[in-house]
Every structure is written in structure tokens, then in C-alpha cells.
Amino acid sequence: MRLIMMGPPGAGKGTQADIVCASMSVPHVSTGDIFRANVTQGTALGIEAKRYMEAGEYVPDGVTNAMVRDRLEHADCAGGFLLDGYPRTIEQVSELDSMLAAQGVGIDAVVELTVDIDEVVKRLVNRAIEQGRADDTEEVIRRRLEVFAKQTAPLTSLYASRGLLIQVSGMGDIAEVTARIEAAISASA
Ligand code: AMP
């Protein structure tokens, strides 16, 4: 299966993606995780990405698309994958469309986790304290939510128009949300 997990920062995408990937045996492709790994390793990509991430801005499409293209060409993605945090812009959608078209495959479903915005801010502040993420200060959190609303929220209607969008409430405990996601994916298959 080829899945996309969408939702605002703090919706629980990463946590749910990990669980769904383990149960479906597909690789979890998280652009945020790949960027963070590059920042930690001090690669050229990490140095470039860091300044955008710390400001709550998106890394430029050219950089992000090239990174995803490379990742999806790995053998483990041949039978399916779950994209977490990508695509986030209309240009990334077009680029993903062409990557998949070249392989003669397509996305099976787009899961959007919907959450209450006050809850999201609370989660992000807690995560900043637990993980010490530099992009989780209150100012940056606010900026990340604004960028999401402007650039990424419109992608849901685009995928809805393709009949691929599944909206799932991300509120409640982790197991409850996972059960909703898995039920929604099976119902759509
Ligand atoms: P995430 O962990 O998915 O919230 O991503 C953390 C940060 O990495 C984002 O705030 C962006 O700066 C950057 N990032 C992750 N995915 C993308 C993407 N698809 N396009 C642009 N920037 C991204």
C-alpha cells in the first residue's frame, strides 16, 4: 500500500505512522525525520535544512523533492510506503505524481488526522520540553501552524477531489486513534 499521512504539526502523525507502518510492513518515510537525521550528522543537506526548520518555514521544494525521490528509489519502497510530512505544497504533489507515474503506481489513500488547534499547541509545547526540539518554541510553533494552514491545508481538498482523502479524528489516546485509522484504511481498500 502507498499511503500519505497528513495533518497539522502536533497531530500525532509520526506516532501513528510508526504504528501503521509496523502493522502493514511498509517503510515509514518521514521527511522531518530525514531532515533531523541530516542536521544531527551535519551533512550539507542538514546545514541547508536547519535554518528553515528552526524558523518554522518549509525547506525549499527543490531540496525536499530531490530527497524524497532518492528515498523512494530504495528497494524497500518498491512494494509500498507511508509518507509522513510529504507532500506539503502543491509543487510537491506534482513532483510526487510524476515520481509515481514513472513507476506506473499511485497513492492508495491519504489519511488526514484532524485535531483541535488548542490541543495541538499543548502537545507541541510538551514535546518541546520532552525532546528539546529547537523548532518547538512557542513562536516557531505559531509560525509552523500558519505555514501549514496556508500551504498544506489546501492539499486536503485536492486529494479529496481525487477520491483519496480519509479524515480521521486525531483526538483521544494513541490506541484509539490507531484503531480509527486502521478501520478507515480497510474500509477504503
Ligand atoms: P515534521 O517533523 O514533519 O513536522 O517536519 C519538521 C520540519 O522539517 C518542518 O517544519 C519543515 O521545516 C521541514 N519539513 C519536513 N517535511 C517537509 C516538506 N515536505 N517540505 C518542506 N519542509 C519540510
* Domains of the chain, CATH where assigned: 2-188 (3.40.50.300)
Taking only the tens place, the pLDDT of each residue in 54-98 is 998 999 999 999 999 999 999 999 999 999 999 999 999 999 999
Mutation test of ligand 1: which of 28, 59, 143 has the most ligand atoms closer than 8 Å to its C-beta? 59
Residue range 32-49: mean pLDDT, rounded: 95
Q: What is the DSSP string of 31-69?
A: HHHHHHHHHHHT-HHHHHHHHHHHHTPPPPHHHHHHHHH
Determine whether 187 is exposed, middle or buried from the number of CB atoms within 10 Å of its CB (0-12, 13-18, 19+).
Answer: exposed
pLDDT category of residue 118 using cuts at 50, 70 and 90: confident
Taking only the tens place, the pLDDT of each residue in 122-174 is 878 888 788 876 667 888 888 889 999 999 989 999 999 999 999 999 999 99
Long-range pairs of 183-187 with CB within 8 A, sequence gap ≥ 24: 184/111, 185/1, 185/3, 185/20, 185/109, 185/111
* CA–centroid distance, residue 61 to ligand 1 (Å): 11
